[in-house]
Amino acid sequence: MLAKRMLTASVAAVALVLTASLADAQTTLKVQTSTKSGGFSFKYMKDKWAPRLAAMTGGDLKIEFLPIKSVVDRKETPEAVGAGVLGGDLTSIAYFSGRNPAFAILGDMIAGYDSPSQIQTFCRHGGGAKVLQELWDKTLPGMIHVVGCGPVSKEALVSKVPIKSVDDLKGLKIRSPSGLAATVFKEAGAAPANIPFSDVFTSLEKGVVDAADASAYVNNDKNGFHQIAKYPLYPGIHSMAVHQFTVNKAIWDKLTPDQKTALETWYYAAYDDLRRVLDLQDKQLVSRDKKEGKIKVINWPQAERDKFRKIAMKAWESTAEKSPEARKALDAHYAFMRQIGLIN
């Protein structure tokens, strides 16, 4: 009887140890994003891809998405990740441009690439994520690990007047964020104005601006911009915001090699899927608008896109001169762009 009780106690003790070990092995990453909780991207990642990370890792790795500003301001996520307040962030790199102009170059190469897939390839295989990691190592040493980076869509450009070529940008009053985007439009002869996104509709309606650097086609449609600006450029000619997926360095270091591989694979698969879904939404709306004929969708020929890229290079160069890290980031882009034939 005593032996039986001892055996039962031993089994219970082993079970307790195994349970504790399992609990230690399980990691839930609380990740703040740069999207609102009601946004399509937030819901899609939460509903479709959060469960898949748990499935891919046998429940050892889980992820909880948090909307923009839910824990800290969007510009403070790196410190929150480094301190362990957040497990990670999935947010726009361009938010951190004020820390170093290299973040502007890595966050949105205005007019640089023709498609989001090209930048995603740059991040994953062309050295983009590596350069971003080096930049964070210099900015917040030993605090952040970059899992990956990439965009999910290319912004369309809403306009009240036809913009069929680079020459049509001359003298155009355009809403644009300050920074690299505004510099590129200035180089092309436009007159950019830094107007809050919430005022875009009114500014177009009242003629304060002729066009607006706003968002993807589907978002511009939902915001009613096409009711006023009936000459949208699609596919867009300028902006593709690149997001970073970072995690706390201490958490990353504790993951097994298999878990690290699973997390990186999961991220790029999720963002590739999200990119394709959003692209399909844009194309469905463009097809509808072309068929109805109320909106004149303009698609620049490749020659004009190439011409605009050459103009934008002047703005990239002026930004790269501001820090050694910015120079290195731009050179990484150049090397990849030459490899895929975007520049000579």
Give domain status of residue 141, yes or no. yes
198 and 176, same domain (yes or no): yes
CATH of the domain at 167: 3.40.190.10
49 and 38, same domain (yes or no): yes
30 and 82, same domain (yes or no): yes
Give domain status of residue 5, yes or no. no
316 and 178, same domain (yes or no): yes
Distance CA 104, CA 319 (A): 8
Closest CA to 317 of 138, 104, 99, 174: 104
Give domain status of residue 74, yes or no. yes
Check if the beta carbon of residue 218 is closer than 8 Å to that of residue 41: no
137 and 203, same domain (yes or no): no
Check if the beta carbon of residue 94 is closer than 8 Å to that of residue 243: no
How many residues does the structure list for the chain?
344
pLDDT of residue 26: 75
177 and 234, same domain (yes or no): yes
141 and 164, same domain (yes or no): no
Amino acid identity for residue 130 in this structure: K
44 and 121, same domain (yes or no): yes
pLDDT of residue 241: 94
307 and 205, same domain (yes or no): yes
Tell me the three state secondary structure of residue 306: helix
Q: For residue 134, what are its two tokens?
A: 């080096």
DSSP string, 84-136: TSSSEEEEEGGGGTTT-HHHHHHH--TTT-S-HHHHHHHHHHSSHHHHHHHHH
pLDDT tens digits, residue range 250-271?
999 999 999 999 999 999 999 9
98 and 110, same domain (yes or no): yes
pLDDT tens digits, residue range 316-335?
999 999 999 999 999 999 99
pLDDT tens digits, residue range 141-196?
999 999 999 999 999 999 999 999 999 999 999 999 889 999 999 999 999 999 99
Q: What is the mean pLDDT of residues 203-224?
A: 94
pLDDT of residue 293: 95
* Sign of the C-alpha dihedral computed for residues 268, 272, 274 and 275 taken in this order: positive
Closest CA to 243 of 111, 96, 87, 66: 96
- Give the C-alpha distances (Å, rounded to integers) separating 263 from 135, 145, 147, 196, 252: 21, 12, 8, 36, 10
Q: For residue 133, what are its two tokens?
A: 């990691």
Give domain status of residue 338, yes or no. no
Note the Cα 21 to chain centre separation in Å. 36
Check if the beta carbon of residue 105 is closer than 8 Å to that of residue 329: yes
41 and 168, same domain (yes or no): no
Phi, psi angle pair for 115, to nearest 5°: -150, 155
Phi, psi angle pair for 293, to nearest 5°: 80, 5
Tell me the three state secondary structure of residue 188: coil
Query: Confidence class of residue 75 from pLDDT cuts 50, 70 and 90?
Result: very high
Distance CA 94, CA 236 (A): 19
CATH of the domain at 85: 3.40.190.170
Q: Could you give the number of structural domains in the chain?
A: 2
pLDDT of residue 127: 97
Q: For residue 272, what are its two tokens?
A: 């590739």
Question: Which residues, other chains included, contact 174 with Cβ-Cβ below 8 Å and sequence gap of 6+?
Answer: 185, 190, 191, 192, 193, 209, 210, 211, 212, 213
Q: In terms of residue numbers, what domain contains 208?
A: 157-238+294-320
Distance CA 4, CA 255 (A): 39
Give domain status of residue 47, yes or no. yes
* Sign of the C-alpha dihedral computed for residues 326, 331, 332 and 336 taken in this order: positive
Task: Name residue, tokens 């300028």.
Answer: 238
pLDDT tens digits, residue range 23-44?
345 799 999 999 999 989 999 9
Distance CA 21, CA 126 (A): 39
pLDDT beyond 80 at 207: yes
Give domain status of residue 18, yes or no. no
Give domain status of residue 307, yes or no. yes
227 and 311, same domain (yes or no): yes
Give domain status of residue 252, yes or no. yes
